Amino acid sequence: MTSTPSTVPPSGPRADGTRTVPRGCPLCEAMCGLEVTLDGRDRVVTVRGDADDVYSAGYLCPKGASLGAVDDDPDRLRGPLVRRDGELRPASWDEAFTEVDRLLRPLLADDRNSVAAYTGNPTGHNVAFTLLAGRLARSLGSVQAYSPATMDQLPQTVTAALLFGEPTSTPVPDLDATDLLVIVGGNPLVSNGSVGAAPDYRGRLRRLRARGGRVVVVDPAQTATAAAADLHLPIRPGTDLFLLLGLLHVVFAEDRVRLRAARDRVSGLAELGAAVGSWTPEAAGRATGIAPETIVGLARDIAGADRAALYGRLGTTLNRHGTLTCWALQVLNVVCGHLDRPGGMRFTRPVTGSPTTRRATRPARPFTTGRYHTRVSGHPEVLGEFPVAALAEEISTPGPGRVRGLVIYGGNLARSMPDSAAVQRALTELDALICVDPYLNETTRHAHVVLPPPGSLTRDHFDLVLFQFAQRNFARFSEPARPVPDGMLPEWDVLLRLCAIYEGRGPDTDPGEIDDEIAAALRRSVARGLDIDEREVVTDFPGRGPRRLLDMRIRSGPYGDLFGRSPGGLTLARLLDAPHGVDLGPLGPRLDEVVRTPSGRIELFAPQIREALAAARPPAVEPGSLLLIGRRDLRSKNSWLHNVDRLAGGPERGLLYLSPGDAEAYGIADGGSVTVRSTAGRIEVPVRVTDQVPDGVCSLAHGWGHDDDRARLRVAARRPGVNSNTLTDGTVLDPLSGTVQMNAIPVRVEPAPRPG
Ligand SMILES: Nc1nc2c(c(=O)[nH]1)N[C@H]1C(S)=C(S)[C@@H](COP(=O)(O)OP(=O)(O)OC[C@H]3O[C@@H](n4cnc5c(=O)[nH]c(N)nc54)[C@H](O)[C@@H]3O)O[C@H]1N2
Ligand SMILES: Nc1nc2c(c(=O)[nH]1)N[C@H]1C(S)=C(S)[C@@H](COP(=O)(O)OP(=O)(O)OC[C@H]3O[C@@H](n4cnc5c(=O)[nH]c(N)nc54)[C@H](O)[C@@H]3O)O[C@H]1N2
Ligand code: SF4
Ligand SMILES: [Mo]
């Protein structure tokens, strides 16, 4: 069996045997450039920020600094596991793939849709997945496709599709040029930002304010970002839509609409103005808890600023009005003239191209969803996927068409998904659970086969997806810092072998065959896109693996050499010569190529929006309950990185934040424990009394609860924390995207019974 060659760059070694290699960080969207120093035995000695990096200029956070420890975690699996006699046991790769084939073959032969796939968050930072995702999905051929998008950014994606005609067209705030940054439901000083991430967000905000600019944060919680802002508006959870409608109301009522770059490019302006007519500042104030004068003042500031950007993230998406909220935020940018302008919301131009950098090959069609529906609750498909909130019932509800097999690529569903109790039950009811994951955790411990990838430092790194949301146009390719250890397979090969199994070609197929087919298909599509002959689509990297695909994509992209037609243009070879990255310039105007709707205009008031808006009401406040919201931690990434000593230390993170007022009302002291109940479940959790949350709101981080004794997470198990998704019931979805409400969950809190 051939395996994809992995070459290690020839930098160093020094006299002491160490060598230092530049390396893109795969742990969050900020895409920092790191400098990894290894010793003669390929052990990581230090990880530093790469001062020469064109994008991050030396910045790194505690996660990046721990990348070596993350990769070298002794609890990582060193080979596949196969369930035999009820126990997961070490197996050879051939045994493991044979077992995958044995388990999936009858299911797929019977009904392709009986096997579901979940593609988790870390895959977005992994070039093997970003290049192979399309083929994996086609090979499996199942409508049962899931990803974190429906507990994350899908409302933003649907908004982009409705407004601009292309789902990938989400603009990012032009942080380094703006004078007014309004952050709605995001905490970039902790998350490092997302869909608009940036290395050193804190430094950027500091510079923004130093040049006279202002930062406004709309967030129920007094987050680190709110604390660093000029103005913090503690909004009632789940009501941002109504704040944004109120702001739009003021802009229209005071005749402050000003389109600038979007002039002659919008449709539906009058309908939009009419639709926000009833959302007076007083009405918006009642819904949100924000004073009407504050709403008027903010609207005037936004409309009057030369350079302003309104940016929203999970606080805007994870609620029952997710898409409407993201839509209202983006149309506010448009009607105040902040779209596609310096210091406003801008569109990055990604190095490998995107549908909007390429010429249209067919007439644009209006965006629609619901080509097919889930079996049990009839949820519509949105952009080819189903809501994660539907997966458990698709597995657990008996009847024809039931999901009996599940492949998880890098996902910890038992902790990340809503309604953990239902998810955990469902995981035990599968005839086949195949996990591609480095850990035996709360999810993979239910698997029939676990296929562990080697650490990230062993692979080529290229942020294929994330470059399109960067603060500058740039590209960076990193070679592996060290080889794949003996006994492990590159994830690339694992995925190709899975494709072969899905396609019924058997577990012994040479993955190279599929690799060649993928390259041939890409060559055809590149030739078609550029309208050139296929033979002209050449590559300097004819070997198998990600490089030849990337080379074709870079060369055919907006900065590419177009296979010789644009001499001096970018190629993968040039990126290999520039391991600190290639800067491709600041974000510039792109509206002409971005707008891809059938009308050729930005559709400010699409029919889907009109209909959903007519039905939208502020959530009722349930007396006696608190609203639970989420929280993130700098030294964590969702449900993982908790098993790494140097990230696991420090203050306890699995605490329920409760306001001093509520703590007193419930008779709960700091450090005491409470029982928290929702419609989905019940947890017991220690409390931190803090004015970081206002009265009526409590907060808990997700991804914890490492208390499953079948997992092998020895460090995490020492301080397991609680699993917040026990409380997320998963029945409240944003109707336009299927995204689940994970914030503003009504809960009841009471002191926990004393033990004994
Ligand atoms: N350190 C670290 N970084 C990460 C991650 C991590 O786990 N740890 N995860 C990564 C991932 S997968 C993502 S998607 C991004 C997310 O990036 P962000 O969205 O920036 O991250 P959150 O901390 O979830 O911020 C959401 C904010 O919304 C607020 N909020 C909750 N409900 C409401 C509401 O109803 N209205 C408003 N206005 N605000 C509300 C919360 O208090 C919180 O501060 O972060 C990424 N970066
Ligand atoms: N209550 C609540 N729940 C949430 C959220 C929230 O804000 N509140 N946020 C949601 C969001 S935004 C997201 S993105 C999801 C994330 O949820 P998931 O998609 O589950 O992602 P993670 O928890 O980041 O990591 C999942 C798994 O990836 C594995 N992994 C790490 N590196 C690799 C690799 O290189 N290859 C492979 N194959 N696997 C790898 C890890 O071991 C881990 O088991 O959680 C969601 N859940
Ligand atoms: S900010 Fe993100 S990309 Fe930068 S070092 Fe930290 S985890 Fe890595
Ligand atoms: Mo996410």
Tell me the pLDDT tens digit for each residue of 537-587: 999 999 999 999 999 999 999 999 999 999 999 999 999 999 999 999 999
Residue 301's CB is within 10 A of a number of other CB atoms, namely 18
Choose the weakest-confidence range: 235-239, 359-363, 435-439.
359-363
Q: Which residue's CA is minimally distant from atom 6 of ligand 3?
A: 61
Tell me whether the omega of the peptide bond preceding residue 507 falls within 30 degrees of 0, making it cis: no
CATH number, domain with residue 323: 3.40.228.10
Task: Give the pLDDT confidence score for residue 315 in this predicted structure.
Answer: 98
241-294 pLDDT, tens digit each: 999 999 999 999 999 999 999 999 999 999 999 999 999 999 999 999 999 999
Let me know if residue 193 belongs to a domain.
yes
**CB 315 near ligand 1, within 6 Å:** yes
- Ligand 1 binding pocket includes 120 (Cβ within 6 Å): no
Same domain, yes or no: 594 and 732: no
CA of 315 to the centre of ligand 1 (A): 7
Instruction: Specify the ligand 3 atom closest to the Cα of 31.
Output: 3
Angle value at C-alpha 490, between 484 and 493, nearest 5 degrees = 150
Mean pLDDT to the nearest integer, 316-336:
98
Q: Would you say the CB of residue 637 lies under 6 angstroms from ligand 2?
A: yes
Is residue 638 domain-shared with residue 669, that is, in the same domain? yes
Same domain, 204 and 263: yes
Ligand 2 proximity of 492 Cβ (cutoff 6 Å): no
Does residue 654 lie in a domain region?
yes
| Domain count across the chain | 2
Instruction: State the distance from the centre of ligand 1 to the C-alpha of 632, rounded, in angstroms.
Output: 6
Q: Which residue stretches of 228-320 are H helix?
A: 240-253, 269-275, 281-288, 292-304, 314-317
- Per-residue pLDDT at 79 exceeds 50: yes
**Structural domain of 670:** 626-751
Query: Would the CB of 636 count as within 6 Å of ligand 1?
Result: yes
Q: Are 331 and 202 members of one domain?
A: yes
| pLDDT at res. 621 | 81
* Same domain for 642 and 594: no
Nearest-ligand number for the alpha carbon of 641: 2
Summarize the confidence of residues 507-519 as an average pLDDT: 96
Q: What angle do helix axes 511-530 and 491-502 make, rounded to 10 degrees?
A: 90
Same structural domain for residues 606 and 659? Answer: no
Statement to judge: residues 177 and 304 lie in one domain: yes
Is 438 close to ligand 2, i.e. is its CB under 6 Å away? Answer: yes
What number is the average pLDDT over the span 200-218? Answer: 98
Q: Answer yes or no: is 317 within a domain.
A: yes
Q: Which of 23, 28, 466, 635 to mutate to test the pocket of ligand 3 (most atoms within 8 A of CB)?
A: 28
Q: What angle do CA 237, 422, 733 make, to 5 degrees?
A: 35
Q: What is the pLDDT of residue 10?
A: 46
Residues 318 and 272 in one domain: yes
Residue 67 alpha carbon to ligand 3 centre in Å: 10
**Residue 39 domain-assigned (yes or no):** no
Is any atom of ligand 2 closer than 6 Å to the C-beta of 285? no
- Give percent above pLDDT 70 in the chain: 98
pLDDT given at position 363: 82
691 and 746 in a single domain? The answer is yes
Q: Mean per-residue pLDDT for 704-724?
A: 97
Is there a contact between 217 and 224 (Cβ–Cβ < 8 Å)? no
Check whether residue 188 and residue 259 sit in a common domain.
Answer: yes
pTM of this prediction? 0.97
The CATH number of the domain where 692 resides is what?
2.40.40.20
358 lies in some domain? no
Is residue 285 domain-shared with residue 327, that is, in the same domain?
Answer: yes
Give the model's confidence band at 755: pLDDT under 50 very low, under 70 low, under 90 confident, else very high: low
Q: How far apart are CA 460 and CA 468, in angstroms?
A: 19
Query: What number does the ligand 3 atom closest to the CA of 49 have?
Result: 5
Closest-CA residue, ligand 2 atom 47, reads 416
- For residue 595, being part of any structural domain is answered with yes
Domain assignment present for 493: no
Q: How many CB atoms lie within 10 A of CB 650?
A: 11
Give domain status of residue 27, yes or no: no
* Residue 491: pLDDT band with limits 50, 70, 90: very high
Mean pLDDT of the chain: 96
State the pLDDT confidence band at 612, using cuts at 50, 70 and 90.
very high
Give yes or no: residues 603 and 697 share one domain.
no
Which residue pairs, CB below 8 angstroms and at least 24 apart, start in 209-212? 211/179, 212/179
Q: Is the per-residue pLDDT at 7 higher than 80? A: no
> How many angstroms is it from 311 CA to the middle of ligand 2?
23
User: Which ligand has the shortest distance to the CA of 632?
Assistant: 1
Ligand 1, residue 632: give the atom nearest the CA: 23
Which of 76, 132, 639, 698 to probe ligand 2 with, by most ligand atoms within 8 A of CB?
639
